[in-house]
Structure 1
Amino acid sequence: MLKFILRRVAVSAVVLLAASFLMFVLTINSGDPLKDLRESNATNKQQLIDARIAFMGLDLPWYERYWNWLKGVGGCFTGQCDLGVTANNVDVLSLTTQAAGATLRLVTLATLLAIVVGVALGILTAIRQYSGFDYSVTFGAFLFFSLPVFWAAVLLKEYGAIRYNDWIATGQYQPVTILVSAAVLGFVLQAVLGGDRRRRLLTAGGTFAFVTVVMFVLNALDWYRNPMFGAGMVLLVSAGAGVVVTALVTGFGNRRVLYGALTTAVVGVVAYFVFAPVLLDPSWLSLIGLFLLAVVVSLGIGYAWGGYARRQAMLVTLVTGVLTSLAVVFDILVAHWSSFLGLKSRPISTIGAATPNFTGGFWESVLDMGAQILLPTVLLTLISVASYSRYTRSSMLEVMGQDYVRTARAKGLSERAVITKHAFRNALIPITTIVAFDFAGLIGGAVITERVFGWKGMGALFADGLNHVDPAPVMAFFLVTGVAAVLMNLVADIIYASLDPRIRR
């Protein structure tokens, strides 16, 4: 395995070197970096031209300029990273650090959401092939995949931000809106669950009645402006998550695993009360420390309850512990929503990665960051979900038709075991390929998204550098995206070798 990894690293380094050379040559030959100054009427025009020539090294041969950039990148391995300066003598390394942080935060969240939602939809549509649910997801996937990014972004800004901000001022749904929403949810749920006509009607009718009652009650409680969740709901959600994860990973044959998951949920809620003083006004460092503590405790509970299935029990309790931690954070954010609205009456932003001069506390600042990142994340997620769901469905259908899957069913294994232990594992290889390419592709594709939403990330850095024929920011963009692409493909290769040892040869 070590030789395999080293070989892939060496090949990746050669690819990066060749690609960086090509990118540098194309950028410096894409226009005149002094064009704006040549057309200037400034009295000190010549001094400005001379200064830019000195900043950008335009008096040097192209190969020497590339070599200087390459040496600066090489200094990153010794702690003396030098990515050069822009045409205006601004340090590119500081610009890249800020831009990469914003873009990677956006792309990482969108990729994780797209993987979870897309893979889950792909598995469900493969299991329910040619059902109404399958056709609905297929239609939605092709629709979202075909949407022009800039057009979808404008629609999201209009309906997901501007009109939502107008509505949240009162936070009340009209009766017609409630009835239409309940009808749509009832129709979708009966299509997902399927069954004969009687079962579909009962599902649709029950969903319609339940959603209608709940939305009217939430209106009466003014829940949308002053929401509540509470420790009881955290426990209910965490326990439900533990039951679902147990059902997916091991089934209910081994009750010790289920007890471990439920114990993790209970311990998580108890810890919520114990650490409440810390969670009132934490720091990111303290939150990370508490999360790591939750991981360790969850693994310990799984180890204690596991018995002969200790490894599976630890996996179940780990996932349950992570979901419990997320439920706790969600409860805290919900509790701070009303105070956030007091500070920012129009919560969903359409421009920028942060609200200037925001004066809220820690949790209000988290809500502000979430409101800023919400729309571009939704846009990138919808586009990626389409491809993930289609590839997962295709891969699952191909695998589920193999002889070993039919043999597993003939041996009497449960459908859960057939899907999760036999079919899904072997369907992961093509999905892994898509994830690796999509992560790097999203960074490049986020250029348009960032421009529409005014997000100062790698897209803005790349566009500004290209417009000014300035290779330093363009090469910084390439460095981040290129390294991300190479690393993700290296991770994909390692996962390949783990999933199928034959690939190592």
Structure 2
Amino acid sequence: MTKFIAKRLGISLVILLLGSALLYILTVNSGDPLQDLRESNSPNRENLIRQRTLNMRLDVPWYLRYFTWLGGASKCLIGACDLGKNIAGQDVTSLVVNAAGSTLRLVVLATVLAIAIGVTLGVVSAVRQYSGFDYATTFMAFVFFSLPVFWAAVLLKNYAAIKFNNWLVDPTFSPVTIVVTALIAAFVLQAAMGGNARRRLITFAASAVVFAGVMFYFDAVTWFRYPSIGLPIYILGVLGAGVLVLSMTSGFDNKRVRNAVALTAVVAIGGYAAVRGLLMESPSTPLLLLCGLAGLVVAFLAGWFLGGFSRKQAVIASFVLALVAAFIAISDLLLSNWSGYLKLQSRPIPTIGSVTPNFTAGYWGHTIDTLTHLLLPTIVLTLVSIASYTRYTRASMLDVLNQDYIRTARSKGISEGKVVTRHALRNSMIPLATIVAFDFAGLIAGAVVTETVFGWQGMGNLFRQGLLQIDPNPVMGFYLVTGTAAVFMNMIADIAYAFLDPRISR
């Protein structure tokens, strides 16, 4: 395995080197960086041309400029990057550092959401093959796959930001809206759950009543202006997540895994109840990370010491529950501070920029402001990416579900839930290891358009400005970050594939 990893690392470095040379050649030959000055009527035009020539080293052959850039970029290995200056004389390294944070947090979040949603839809679609849900999922996957990024971004800006902000002034639901929304949501849920006609009818009726009741409650208490989960709902959420995790892993008959998950749930509930007040009054990122780390440590210890012969399953189940409990806790804290944020931002869903300039607020106010700026561009990139995961997961699951060992598992009386989650799903994930890497690179390319529409000062803007000004240094800074990230993801995918299938590393 070590030899395989070293080989992949060497190939990745060669690809980065060749790609950087090709991109530099294409950039410097794409136009004249002095064209705007040559057409200028300024009396000191010749002096401006001379200064820009010296600043961009245009009197030096392109290959010498490339090797100078390569030498500065290689210093990144020791933490001393020198990416030169742009056409305006600004330090490109500083520009890249500021822009990379915006782009990578956008792309990484979109990737995680696309994987979670796409894989889930793909699994359910495969299990409910040729059902109405399967046809609807397939149709929507093709729609999202062919969706123009700029068009989806404009629609979201209009409906999910402008019109939503208008509605949020007086967030009420009409009786017709409640009934229609509840019926549609119940219809989708019963299609996903499947079963015979009687089971579908019961699911539809119960779901419609629940959805209508929830919407009526939201309307009555003006929940969208004063939202909160609260400790009682948090407790129910953690317990429900524990039941779901057990049903999808070992089942309820395995006492050791059940005890580990139960202990994790009890500690999560007790721990959050103890620190919730502190996190509301005196929050900080280190404190949140410490609480999250403590929850994961407890989950590991519970699974390790209570798992017995099922130690691996117990650790995984406990870890998943700890992550879900942390997510619910963060959601509760954010929602509890939403009303305070609305007092500072009457139109909370922004349509442009990655942060609100000169925004003064506390810790949770700044956190909510950052997340609301992430919301729309993340949705755009997720919708574009989700189709690939849905289709590949469905195809892979169908292939695995038709294997002999799956039929053997069913013939032994193993429940369908365990067959799908413990046997089929795990093996169907192997092809997706490669898809993640390609999709990550595609999301980076899509982020260029998305950042332009939403006015983000990220890597896409840096790349676009560099191309327009025939300035290679910002373009190469974009390549250094995004190209390295894409190649790194491909290398991780190769290594993950080798771990999942040992034959690959031979």
1:500 is the counterpart of 2:501: yes
The answer to whether the 8 Å contact 2:122/2:391 transfers is yes
Quote how far apart the aligned CAs of 1:391 are: 0.4
Quote how far apart the aligned CAs of 1:277 are: 4.8
CA displacement 1:303-336 (0-9 Å, x = unmatched)? 2321221221111111111111111111111110
The aligned counterpart of 1:405 is 406
Distance 2:322 2:153 in 1: 35
Structure 1 length normalisation: TM-score? 0.97
Distance 1:453 1:493, change over 3 A: same
Quote how far apart the aligned CAs of 1:365 are: 1.0
Distance 1:494 1:425 in 2: 17
The aligned counterpart of 1:353 is 354
Which deviates the most, 88-97 or 168-177? 168-177
Q: How does 1:279-298 map to 2 (within 5 A)?
A: 279=279, 280-298=281-299
Distance 2:217 2:419 in 1: 42
Which deviates the most, 325-334 or 463-472? 325-334
The answer to whether the 8 Å contact 2:124/2:192 transfers is no
The aligned counterpart of 1:215 is 215
Q: How does 1:108-187 map to 2 (within 5 A)?
A: 108-187=108-187
Quote how far apart the aligned CAs of 1:293 are: 1.6
Describe the SS at the equivalent of 1:81: coil
Distance 2:28 2:286 in 1: 43
For 1:21, the aligned partner's letter is: A
Quote how far apart the aligned CAs of 1:240 are: 1.1
Quote how far apart the aligned CAs of 1:411 are: 3.6
Distance 1:202 1:407 in 2: 32
5+ residue gaps in structure 2? none
The aligned counterpart of 1:242 is 242
Distance 1:432 1:174 in 2: 46
Distance 2:60 2:265 in 1: 64
The answer to whether the 8 Å contact 1:281/1:363 transfers is no
The aligned counterpart of 2:452 is 451
The aligned counterpart of 2:271 is 271
Distance 1:301 1:90 in 2: 53
Distance 1:169 1:493 in 2: 50
Distance 2:7 2:209 in 1: 61
The answer to whether the 8 Å contact 1:239/1:261 transfers is no
Quote how far apart the aligned CAs of 1:461 are: 0.5
CA displacement 1:1-26 (0-9 Å, x = unmatched)? 10000000111111111111100000
Distance 2:83 2:311 in 1: 49
Describe the SS at the equivalent of 1:173: coil
Distance 1:477 1:444 in 2: 11
Describe the SS at the equivalent of 2:430: helix
Q: Kindly tell me the number of residue pairs found equivalent between the two proteins.
A: 505
The answer to whether the 8 Å contact 1:186/1:207 transfers is yes
Quote how far apart the aligned CAs of 1:410 are: 3.0
CA displacement 1:226-260 (0-9 Å, x = unmatched)? 12211111111111111111221211221231222
CA displacement 1:263-293 (0-9 Å, x = unmatched)? 2122112112322354123222222222112
Quote how far apart the aligned CAs of 1:193 are: 2.2
1:88 is the counterpart of 2:84: no
Distance 1:427 1:200 in 2: 28
The aligned counterpart of 2:309 is 308
Describe the SS at the equivalent of 1:251: coil
Q: How does 1:24-103 map to 2 (within 5 A)?
A: 24-103=24-103
Q: How does 1:307-326 map to 2 (within 5 A)?
A: 307-326=308-327
The aligned counterpart of 1:202 is 202
Structure 2 length normalisation: TM-score? 0.97
1:428 is the counterpart of 2:396: no
Describe the SS at the equivalent of 1:429: coil
The answer to whether the 8 Å contact 1:425/1:499 transfers is no
Identity %: 53
For 2:283, the aligned partner's letter is: P
Distance 2:207 2:270 in 1: 33
Distance 1:313 1:195, change over 3 A: closer
Distance 1:213 1:293 in 2: 37
Which deviates the most, 171-180 or 16-25? 171-180
5+ residue gaps in structure 1? none
The answer to whether the 8 Å contact 1:235/1:266 transfers is no
The aligned counterpart of 2:379 is 378
Distance 1:236 1:151, change over 3 A: same
For 2:205, the aligned partner's letter is: G
The aligned counterpart of 1:390 is 391
Quote how far apart the aligned CAs of 1:43 are: 2.5
Distance 1:416 1:177, change over 3 A: closer
Distance 1:300 1:292 in 2: 12
The answer to whether the 8 Å contact 2:256/2:306 transfers is yes
The answer to whether the 8 Å contact 2:102/2:354 transfers is yes
For 2:270, the aligned partner's letter is: V
Aligned-residue Cα RMSD (Å) equals 1.4
Distance 2:312 2:14 in 1: 40
Distance 2:437 2:176 in 1: 45
Distance 2:370 2:453 in 1: 18
